[in-house]
């Protein structure tokens, strides 16, 4: 558990001077146990909201709107859950890394466009399309944290196409 704590907090053997992110991380009032509990709670809320959104899809008249709101809020909560482990600044820095910057931009853009399609443009087909793109972008973003996962998925698709 200590090794995981050191890796997630950026102290995995680097003895460089403390930078701003590490100083902010050390100044946090949350202990490691509280951070893990916050992560689990926020992640479970995100999963619950996403599943609830899918279940509410079948409600007459309001189903699609409820689905879009709950599913989008679930994705936001799941994304925010990692901020408990890393801290907000470090999480934002990792989201903007060159390996996941495009996935982050597409994911956040699809989150916003899903809500715009449902509430501003009132085009539910478009909102549903953005919701599907939101799911795919969130999955691609999540795979960026697993070493070689994206490469394996791309190789799998190239083998299926051949």
Q: What are 30-67's pLDDT values in tens digits?
A: 888 999 999 999 999 999 999 999 999 888 889 989 99
6 and 20 both lie in a single domain: yes
- Domain boundary pick from 95, 128, 152: 95
Kindly state whether residues 131 and 103 are assigned to the same domain.
yes
Q: Are residues 73 and 132 in the same domain?
A: no
- CA dihedral (23, 5, 73, 133) positive or negative: positive
pLDDT for 25 beyond 60: no
Q: Which residues contact 60 (CB under 8 A, 6 or more apart)?
A: none
Over the stretch 106-151, which tens digit does the pLDDT of each residue have?
999 999 999 999 999 989 899 989 999 999 999 999 898 888 999 9
**Where in the sequence is the domain holding 25, given as residue range(s)?**
1-95
Task: Give this prediction's pTM.
Answer: 0.74
């Amino acid at each position: 558990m200590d090794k995981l704590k050191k890796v997630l907090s950026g102290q995995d053997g680097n003895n460089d001077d403390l930078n701003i992110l590490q100083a902010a991380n050390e100044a946090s009032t949350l202990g490691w146990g509280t951070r893990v509990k916050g992560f689990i709670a926020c992640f479970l809320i995100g999963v619950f909201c996403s599943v609830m959104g899918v279940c509410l899809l079948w409600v007459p008249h309001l189903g699609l709107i409820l689905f879009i709101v709950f599913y989008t809020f679930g994705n936001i909560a799941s994304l925010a859950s990692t901020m408990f482990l890393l801290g907000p600044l470090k999480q934002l820095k990792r989201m903007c890394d060159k390996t996941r910057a495009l996935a982050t931009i597409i994911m956040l853009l699809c989150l916003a466009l899903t809500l715009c399609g449902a509430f501003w443009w009132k085009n539910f087909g478009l909102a549903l399309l953005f919701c599907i793109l939101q799911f795919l972008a969130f999955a691609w973003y999540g795979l960026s944290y697993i070493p070689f996962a994206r490469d394996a998925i791309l190789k799998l698709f190239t083998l299926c196409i051949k």
